[in-house]
Structure 1
Amino acid sequence: MISRIDLRGSAGDPRELLPRAETDVSAALDQVRPICEDVRERGTEALLELTERFDGVRLSGIRVPRAELDSALAALDPAVRAALEESIERARRVHADQRRADTTTRVVPGGTVTERWVPVDRVGLYVPGGRAAYPSSVVMNVVPAQEAGVASLAVTSPPQAEFGGLPHPTILAACALLGVDEVYAVGGAQAVAMFAYGAGRCERADMVTGPGNIWVASAKRLLKGVIGIDAEAGPTEIAVLADETADPAYVAADLVSQAEHDVLAASVLVTPSTELAGKVEAELSARVAATRHRDRVADALGGRQSGIVLVDDLDHGLAVVDAYAAEHLEILTADASARAAAVRNAGAVFVGPYSPVSLGDYCAGSNHVLPTGGSAVHTAGLSVQTFLRGVHVVEYDRDALAAVAPHVAALAEAEDLPAHGEAVAARFGGGQEGAQ
């Protein structure tokens, strides 16, 4: 069901040996480009036609009426509403602490540099549809944008034929709970293009965030620069670093929980214990047979992107998971807190037996929109900071500028940009050569 990869005694680069889902975003660009151009040229008309082609739904308009949001919230299961409200409250608590304060540095007497943190003016937030509804992704996108102070935000999610061409009602209810009333029934690459170029009642946005399929990721890559993006999300992944003290039932349950997302989902156990590996394999057999989405889970666990990786010891294991840079990393070892403190590359780290990834997906307070495909080595998950821009404000008086003017002139000459130095000299009676 799940393969083993033996890295014991290996001195090679773990990145070349570890399992990873194969997704070729570049190959999808040629198919995505005409879709985005169509939206750019024809706006709403193109969106309606593309929605009919890809989602099998013919809509009369792309914006979800406010009455539908209110109706979805009114009909929401009370238990789900309570869970969403708890998720929102915890996420707000964590993300509120991410706010940044403006900082002024007195470089010299009379000379200051202030870093101001300014929110993006308008953002488009993508919430996936498809195999499942993801109201939790509404929370994870909207809360940090709101806490950052974004003035204008819109949510889009693919239309569902079974709900009359609207996004899933639980997604609409989550939007209503969060006070978001600008919601669109648009999915895929065309949704990214809608935010990049604007269409009908949807004004163009400055940034688009949120996970999606390969078409969404390709559109983000194609339109990056036209619109800001958070990241190109790939298939979800979990890595578990565990030793002989880990409960194999917990490990297996967590591997299955990620595998149920998609046949390309990656579930990876890294351990020095062959005994634990064997017990986890036995647990997986029983759990996969009993789980609701057993076929999907079996495909994901049996795919080349999943595996049990045997390492020499926990130090070796830590090096391996750092190289893998998982979206989600669980540490299930006797010294879990200390091991977690040494991790450098992961989207989020879950420490100990009572911090499973599924807690982070919903109610830990952390954000579940995280870097995938090894990009955690250079990219962070979604946060308040995603929606903020640092702007330097420079203010020098005459004496402070005069004191540094010779250095500006020297560096300008060194770079053969004399007009840079002359721009300073002009403030003290100097100017261009020959005009002094």
Structure 2
Amino acid sequence: MTATATPAIGDSADRRRRIFAIFGSSSGNLVEWYDFYAYAFTALYFAPSFFPKDDQTTQLLYAAAVFAVGFLMRPIGGYLFGFIADKFGRKTSMMISVLMMCAGSLAIAVMPTYHSIGGLAPVLLLLARLMQGLSVGGEYGTSATYMSEVALPGRRGFFASFQYVTLIGGQLLASLVILLVQQSMTDVELRAWGWRIPFFIGAACAVVAFLLRRALHETSSAETRARKEAGSLSELFGKHSRAFLIVLGYTAGGSLIFYTFTTYMQKYLVNTAHMNDRTANLVMTAVLFTYMILQPPFGAFADKFGRKTAMLLFGGLATVFTVPLMYAIGGVSSPYAAYGLIIAALAIVSFYTSISGLVKAEMFPTEVRALGVGLAYAIANAIFGGSAEYVALWFKNAGVETYFYWYVTAMCAIAFLSAVVMADSRTHGYLRGEEH
């Protein structure tokens, strides 16, 4: 927008514009992550249809491997959509990514099983996951950048926290849909065809998100997009390599522990704590709702006490408490106790997730911001976040499940060290003084 078209920061028209922008951009974020997590939450039901093995852990291991491979497309998506966002606009990038996610979700919804087409079925499933991985790889960086740029100065932590509100909301929506399907169908129906319903719903919601995103205003200027440095890898790695490495460090630990206590936790409750799948899903639905509403208060905490303080608390507490919490959850018998323990873990993670995108955005200038945020996040997320379920199940299959707890702890220690060396955004940060 031009200077004459943009209302003064803080007036009511400007505030409404920013709230709509947060809502519009985050709606697509919700749909993207709903579709992505629909796969994780339905894996218990469709795994036998694509991987015909007798042992449930083996089937889940194969399904988790496909989930992890989808993450390998994220660095490509992070680069591609980061380049588009920096060179052609945040809005354009976000519209393309949500349409691509829609296509991947619809493909899974109509996909034939192993019984119908044999070995081609898991191949097609893999291709659909690769498309979704490409889309989500681009979604995070662009939406994090957009929401950070459009947030009110002085309240950026609070406003930016809504990225993870909608990200977790996508998980929660997927969990709620699965819960409703579970309550209305038998196990036989669920495994035969009921698992397809969430993917159809995701494809339909993506159309709504696309229409909302079309109405958004652009936060990057034509002048910035026209610079030769816009979306340039040489600019990113030449002048901002230190920031890139810091983001890699704390995203590795943050992504790993996030996926450990969200998507993997459902299977951990079933396979290790020996809960039935319906009870585990109820617990995780309650957990995700609570976790979602924790994000704005933790974002406001970061506004008051500083992003660096929040990141230090995350890294330090996660390093100390991951192992005892995993042991306690693995031996729990009460769903209420499981809920309390997982929420305790996710309260620690909230120091990171509430400001995750904002902290990254503050470390890069406008012309490479979406690229820097998206690519660094996607690489760390692909290697450590996407492999969380697979690594956990692999250790369990090998009879050394507790090794996974220490692996998560080690990565959180790296996140803590990254927070130690990062600059304090209250005195340093590229978003300081920017107005959109």
Tell me: higher relative CO, structure 1 or 2? Use CA pairs within 8 A at least 6 residues apart. 2
TM-score w.r.t. the length of structure 1 is 0.27
Greater strand percent: which structure? 1
Greater helix percent: which structure? 2
TM-score w.r.t. the length of structure 2 is 0.27
